[in-house]
Amino acid sequence: MPYAVVVGVDGSEPSTAAAEWAAREAHRSGRPLRLLHVGGAGSTAPGESDRGGELPPSVLATRDHLARLLPGLELTCDHMPGNPAYALAAAGGRNGLLVLGSRGLGGFTGLLVGSVSLRTAGHANCPVVVIRAGADGRDGESGDVVLGLDSDQADPDVIAFAFEQAAARGTTLRVLESRQVPAGPYSTEPVVYQPEVREALEAAELLRLQDALAPWRAKHPEVRVEAELTAWPAGRALVEASRSACLTVVGRRRPRLHPAAPWLGHVTHAVLHHAHSPVAVVPHD
């Protein structure tokens, strides 16, 4: 049986948007969908109390809406007590896909991901996709898949996830690496014009990025790949690229000293808060 797509639901607008995205992803990939309502502070929509194992009417309405939207979808809806971040991370396991809605931070324009989503993305052992309701970019169904990559530390799990998502959607994979080429001046023997040296260095950096992608290009020849170097900081470049993306993919390194501790690097943190598309955070060692 394929591992489920798990989505956290509480009846709020962001969680409903996440549930719809998760349902389309489960339908596309042939996986079952599990709607999970977690008891505890912050797990219910405003005006709805947590009633133990009873699902709020808004959550049941979301379930019924998805059942009508995709009649053939294998769908379950459960309640689980406990801390939302830990319970959701546990439900995703290591091989599932976890989908969450963002929660607004009242009064801080542009910072649109709440503590539950951030903690879950920092704890989970499976990929976590965060959906922002009403985002001003793509709806998650059109555009390219964008991957932020450091070719010096290219992790196979992150690259594989991005290629699989692009292949499933039949879209282009756009790979961005932030790389600063030294400004010079350059000393060479024999004398070479400075612009030529810089162009050669940039070509070498791009070749290294292409080499890092080569095994997955061979595995997914159907995926059109655009590999680009940018002088912008990685977070800024990915946020800008997300304007035309259906999904933006970033990695998250698992802590080595304290594996249970949540960890989001500054680039992933910035992209989660400011991206215009859904964001996938893929953990790696």
pLDDT (tens digit per residue) in 151-167: 888 899 999 999 999 99
**85-90, long-range: CB within 8 Å, 24+ apart, which pairs?**
85/115, 85/116, 85/119, 85/120, 85/123, 86/123, 87/36, 87/38, 87/40, 88/6, 88/8, 88/36, 88/38, 88/116, 88/120, 88/124, 89/120, 89/123, 89/124, 89/125
Burial grade of 257 (CB within 10 A; 0-12, 13-18, 19 or more): exposed
CA dihedral of residues 213, 214, 220, 222 (deg, nearest 10): 100
Which class is 139-285 in CATH? alpha beta
Phi-psi region of 170 (alpha: psi -120 to 50; beta: other; left: phi over 0): left
First-to-final CA distance of the chain = 26
Taking a C-beta distance cutoff of 8 angstroms, is the pair 171, 246 a contact? yes
Per-residue burial over 169-203, b = 16 or more CB atoms within 10 Å of its CB, e = otherwise: bebbbbbbbbbeeeeeeeeeeeeeeeeebeeeeee
Rounded Cα distance between 48 and 54, Å, is 11
Rounded Cα distance between 241 and 102, Å, is 20
Q: Choose the weakest-confidence range: 10-19, 145-154, 194-203.
A: 194-203
pLDDT above 70: residue 1: no
| Residue range 129-142: mean pLDDT, rounded | 68
Q: Residue 139: pLDDT band by 50, 70, 90 thresholds?
A: low
Rounded Cα distance between 252 and 19, Å, is 23
Listed by start position, the domains of the chain span: 1-134, 139-285
| Residue range 161-182: mean pLDDT, rounded | 91
Higher pLDDT, 218 or 206: 218
pLDDT (tens digit per residue) in 186-197: 555 554 545 665
pLDDT the model gives residue 142:
79
Superfamily per CATH, domain 1-134: HUPs (3.40.50.620)
Higher pLDDT, 27 or 191: 27
Rounded Cα distance between 231 and 178, Å, is 6
Rounded Cα distance between 180 and 196, Å, is 16
The reply to whether domains 1-134 and 139-285 share a CATH topology is yes
Q: Which residue has the tokens 């709806």?
A: 139
